[in-house]
Amino acid sequence: MSPRPRSIGLAIAGAVLASSLVPAAASADRVTSPRPWKATNTYLVRQSLDGRTSPKLEPRAKVDHVRAGQWVRISCQTTGENAYGSTVWDKVGAYYVPDHYIRTFTTGFIKGAPRCKGPAPQPRPNSALYDQAAAAGFGGLPGGSTRISASTGARNRDDGIVILRWFIPNHDAGGRLLVGDGRGFSGAPDDVHRSRAYLAWNTKTGAVTFTVTPTTVSTALPRSLKGPGICTKFKIPYPCVKDYPLPPRIRGGEHIPALPISVKSSFGDVHSTDWQARHTNNVAVRREGSGRLHVKASLVNSVTNDFVVTAAGRRIAPGAWSVDYDVTLERRPAGGYAIRAIGNGYPAIEAYYYGRTNTVAHRRFQRKIDPAMRRTWRKVGPLSLNPLVLDPGGGVGALNEFSWFTCTDRSDGGSFCDKRGSSKGQWFAKAGDYTTTGGGPAE
C-alpha cells in the first residue's frame, strides 16, 4: 500500500494545529476591544509564554510556545493554578498558557468561550513554611500580646505573606531592667515570639495584622534605672545621665501584657511622644495606589513607659521613649519588594517573604542597630571622652534626638540608610553605621 495518503493526512493535521499559532490570516479577526469569543478571533500575546500540558505553572512542555507580539486563536479556557495574579488559562494549539499575558480585554473568561474538557488540576499544596508564617501572623494571639486586623485591599500578583518584625538583638534592654530578644536576623516565622512587634501582610488578599508582644522584666533587677535626665549646675540646666530609683511595683521575671493598640484614621495622629507617658501603641495602616502598603507606628513598652519622675522642676518620663516608624512596602514589577523605613535607629528590623509554595524564606529587608547606641558619655560637649554603658539593649537609639534615618532595601536583602528629609540625629549617630549587608549581624 502506498504511504502517500497517510502523509497527506498528517500534513493536514499539522496545518490545523499550527493555524492557532501563526499570525492571523486575512479572514481571522484581530480582537482590539471587548467582544464575544469566536473560533476565528485572534488575540495579542503580550509576553512570550511557555506551553503546559495542564493549566499549572510546572512542568513546562514547550519553551516559548507563543511569543510576544504574536496573534493567536484561543480554542477554549479553563481555571487552574494561580499564575501572575489570575487563575484563568487559555488553550492555544496543543498547550495551555496563562491568560494574564493574552490581551482578551477581560480579567475573567471571554464571553462565549468554551470550557476546556477535563478536570481542572488541584492547586499545589501550601509549603510548611507558608503555613507557619500564616499561623504566626494570622493565627492564635500569643499570651500577653495585643493585635489589630485590617482588610486593606493592598494586593499584588504574589501569593504569599510578608512579615516585618522589630526586635532587640541583645539579651538586656531598658537599662538592664527588661529582657531583650537575644537573637540575630532570622527567617524563621516562629521568631515573631522573639520580637517586640510585627506586621503580617497577605499579598493575595490584602489582609494585614499588627501585633505588639508583652514586655518581660529582668530577673536580675538593678538598684536603679539609668537614663537621660536634666541636671543643673550654677542654676544652669544641662542634659546628663541620672539614676532613677525603681518603682516598688516592678518585680523581677514578670511578663507585663502589651499596651492596647489605638488605630488612627490619620497618619498625622501617629507621632513620637518621647519623655511623655502614654498608655497606647498608636498605629495607622492603609493601601496606597493599587498595591502599596503604608504603615505608621509609634510603640511603647508596658513597663518603663509610665515611669514618671520630677526633674528640674518638671515631670518627665525618663523611660518613655517611643519607637517611631513610617514604613512602605510595595512589590516591584520584576519581583521582590521595595521597602522604605523612616524612623529611629532602634530596635533592629527585618522583613521576609513566604511564598505559598516556597520552601525557603526570602530576605527582603534588614536594618541593624549600632553598638554605639549602647553607650553614651558622662558629659555633653567636646570633652565627652569617657564612655558609660547606659543601656546594653541600645534603647537610647529610640530617642529622636539620638537617631532618625531613612532606610531603603538593598538587592542583597539588607538596607541603605541616610538622613534624607530629617535634621534629627545629626550629632549622635551616623547613618552609615546603620547601613546593613543582607545576612550580616543585627548589630
How far is residue 166's CA from residue 187's CA, in Å, rounded to a whole number?
A: 13
Mean pLDDT within 242-267: 87
- In this predicted model, what pLDDT tens digit does every residue of 375-384 receive, in sequence order? 544 444 444 4
154-181: b or e for each residue (b if 16 or more CB lie within 10 Å)?
bbbbbbbbbbbbbbbbbebbbbbbbbbb
- CA 94 to CA 96: how far, in whole Å? 7
pLDDT of residue 231: 81
The residue-averaged pLDDT of 37-65 equals: 93
67: Cα within 13 Å, side-chain hemisphere: 2
- The tens digit of pLDDT for each residue in 301-333 reads 998 876 766 655 556 666 678 999 999 999 999
Q: Whose CA is closest to 318, among 222, 180, 225?
A: 225
Give this prediction's pTM. Answer: 0.70
Q: 27 exposed, middle or buried (CB, 10 Å; 0-12, 13-18, 19+)?
A: exposed
- Asked which of 13-17, 45-49, 160-164, 394-398 is least confident by mean pLDDT, the reply is 13-17
CA pair distance 61, 245, nearest whole angstrom: 73
Dist. CA 181–CA 194, nearest whole Å: 5
pLDDT at 290: 83
Does the pLDDT at position 108 exceed 60? yes
Minimal CA–CA distance to 286: which of 154, 137, 198?
Answer: 154
Query: Which has the closest alpha carbon to 151: 87, 204, 107, 197?
Result: 204
pLDDT in tens, 393-439: 667 778 787 788 899 999 999 999 987 655 555 556 777 788 999 99
Task: Indicate whether 212 pLDDT > 90.
Answer: yes
Q: Which residue has the cell 535634621?
A: 423
Phi, psi of 180 (to 5 degrees): -85, -175
Residue type at position 306? D
The average pLDDT across 195-202 equals 98
Among 4-13, 195-204, 308-317, top mean pLDDT goes to 195-204
Distances (CA, A) of 106 to 167, 228, 278, 428: 45, 62, 51, 56
Q: Which three cell numbers stand for residue 81?
A: 493554578
CB 273 within 8 A of CB 298: yes
Q: Which residue has the higher pLDDT, 385 or 167?
A: 167
With 70 as the cut, is the pLDDT of residue 13 above it?
A: no
**Length, in residues, of the chain:** 443
Does the pLDDT at position 26 exceed 50?
no
Looking at residue 247, what is its pLDDT?
74
What is the per-residue pLDDT across 43-53, written as a single tens digit (0 to 9) for each?
A: 999 999 999 99
Q: Long-range contacts of range 257-261, CB-CB < 8 Å, 24 or more positions apart?
A: 257/144, 257/145, 257/146, 257/214, 257/302, 258/144, 258/145, 258/146, 258/212, 258/213, 258/214, 258/215, 258/302, 259/146, 259/212, 259/300, 259/302, 259/305, 260/146, 261/146, 261/147, 261/148, 261/210, 261/212
At 419 the pLDDT is 78
Model confidence at 135: pLDDT above 50 = yes
